[in-house]
């Protein structure tokens, strides 16, 4: 039976690919809705982009909700330098015709978690954790009802990609991340340590480009756009395709490997705010609170992605 999920997102080209992978996999995941948050670009653009991606996939029936337009306590940091001014630069898509839902994303999260059987809904945040933390604070009764949270964020061995110590999603709203990591909900963390192995090499991009229909060429165009930044920064042959790794883990967890460890979020450090302090070597007595992934089968991941996207 398909796992019920809510994708919480700030699209972003890699967020868009994650949404497409989920919508292409109804046998594995049932998308109850998509909640949008400010992150890669401001909220009006993330809500627009999510609907554009749903329409690209032929799924205008998916409910999309706009959520928090700023972090809990900090000014918003965005990433147009990576994703372009729209967040989905790289291909021209028509303006969305499907409506944005009139409920706030946080209200949708709370109502859905109260309505669905306890433990049956997985949250998949692939942007800053502001919406999730706000829902937990506003309605503490939903916390034990969450089945698990599978999030893209953080780093340990790969350190930071927006500061020397912090990964972007956690850096944007570390206070929200701290609340989520302290919630007691079962967490699976997909950090840069994994996603930096999911590289969009030229051969992989060309395979997407050669797919029939609209989906593969769109993915190729997006990756061609945003990989320029990471190739220059890291000197790698491609760019990390971060966010789809969360959906891939839900579909085929055997592609990944990690440890159940303690992960704390630094909120006060002068140079380290937003750092995920992962006790990989278990040198403290802090209780484990997250399955922190470190390795993946990149070829298997791209084979899964190619196979699933070809179904749309």
**Reported confidence tier of residue 37, pLDDT bands at 50, 70, 90:** very high
Q: For position 1, what pLDDT does the model report? A: 87
Q: Which domain holds residue 135?
A: 3-309
> Domains in the chain: how many in total?
1
Q: For position 233, what pLDDT does the model report? A: 72
Q: What is the CATH number of the domain that holds 76?
A: 3.90.245.10
Q: How many other CB atoms are there within 10 angstroms of residue 5's CB atom?
A: 24
Q: For position 129, what pLDDT does the model report? A: 99
Write out the two tokens for 268. 């006060």
Question: Is it the case that residue 230 has pLDDT exceeding 80?
Answer: no
**C-alpha–C-alpha distance, residues 258 and 266, integer Å:** 21
Write out the two tokens for 159. 């350190």
Catalytic residue among 83, 171, 196, 242: 242
Q: For position 227, what pLDDT does the model report? A: 67
Question: Is it the case that residue 85 has pLDDT exceeding 70?
Answer: yes
Contact 49, 23 (CB under 8 A): no
**Reported confidence tier of residue 180, pLDDT bands at 50, 70, 90:** very high
Question: Is it the case that residue 225 has pLDDT exceeding 90?
Answer: no
**C-alpha–C-alpha distance, residues 46 and 51, integer Å:** 9
Question: Is it the case that residue 228 has pLDDT exceeding 80?
Answer: no
Q: For position 238, what pLDDT does the model report? A: 77
**C-alpha–C-alpha distance, residues 165 and 155, integer Å:** 8
Annotation says 242 is catalytic: yes
Model confidence pLDDT, tens digit, residues 44-71: 999 999 999 999 999 999 999 999 999 9
Question: Is it the case that residue 8 has pLDDT exceeding 80?
Answer: yes
Q: For position 6, what pLDDT does the model report? A: 99
Q: Return the C-alpha torsion angle 300, 17, 98, 88, nearest 10.
A: -170
Q: Could you tell me where the beta strands, DSSP code E, fall in 106-219?
A: 121-125, 146-152, 187-190
Could you report how far apart the first and last alpha carbons of the chain are, in Å? Answer: 20
Residues 6+ apart with CB under 8 A from 32: 4, 5, 6, 63, 112, 116, 121
The phi, psi pair for 34, rounded to 5°, reads -125, 125
Question: Is it the case that residue 284 has pLDDT exceeding 90?
Answer: yes
User: Among 186-190, 212-216, 225-229, 300-304, which is the least confidently predicted range?
Assistant: 225-229
Write out the two tokens for 224. 């061609």
**C-alpha–C-alpha distance, residues 154 and 275, integer Å:** 7
pTM score of the predicted model: 0.97
Angle of helix 13-23 versus helix 298-309 axis, rounded to 10: 70
Average pLDDT over the chain, rounded to an integer: 96
**C-alpha–C-alpha distance, residues 293 and 200, integer Å:** 20
């Amino acid at each position: 039976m398909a796992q019920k999920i809510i994708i919480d997102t700030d699209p972003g080209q890699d967020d868009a690919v994650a949404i497409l992978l989920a919508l292409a996999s109804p046998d594995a995941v049932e998308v109850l809705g998509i909640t949008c948050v400010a992150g890669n670009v401001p909220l009006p653009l993330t809500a627009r982009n999510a609907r554009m991606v749903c329409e690209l996939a032929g799924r205008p029936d998916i409910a999309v909700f706009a959520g928090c337009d700023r972090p809990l306590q900090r000014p918003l940091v965005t990433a147009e330098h990576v994703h372009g001014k729209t967040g989905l630069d790289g291909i021209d898509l028509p303006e969305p015709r499907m409506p944005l839902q009139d409920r706030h994303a946080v209200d949708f999260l709370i109502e859905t978690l109260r309505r669905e059987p306890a433990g049956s809904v997985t949250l998949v945040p692939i942007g800053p954790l502001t919406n999730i933390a706000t829902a937990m604070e506003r309605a503490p009764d939903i916390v034990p009802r969450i089945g698990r949270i599978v999030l893209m964020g953080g780093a340990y061995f790969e350190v930071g990609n927006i500061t020397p110590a912090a990964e972007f999603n956690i850096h944007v709203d570390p206070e929200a991340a701290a609340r989520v990591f302290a919630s007691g909900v079962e967490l699976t963390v997909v950090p840069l340590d994994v996603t930096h192995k999911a590289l969009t090499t030229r051969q992989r991009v060309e395979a997407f480009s050669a797919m029939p229909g609209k989906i593969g060429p769109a993915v190729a165009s997006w990756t061609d756009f945003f990989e320029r930044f990471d190739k220059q920064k890291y000197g790698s042959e491609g760019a990390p395709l971060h966010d789809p790794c969360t959906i891939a883990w839900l579909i085929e967890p055997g592609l990944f490997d990690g440890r159940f460890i303690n992960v704390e979020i630094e909120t006060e450090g002068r140079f380290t705010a937003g750092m995920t302090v992962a006790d990989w070597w278990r040198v403290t007595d802090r209780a484990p609170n997250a399955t922190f992934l470190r390795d993946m089968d990149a070829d298997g991941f791209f084979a899964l992605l190619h196979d699933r996207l070809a179904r749309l």
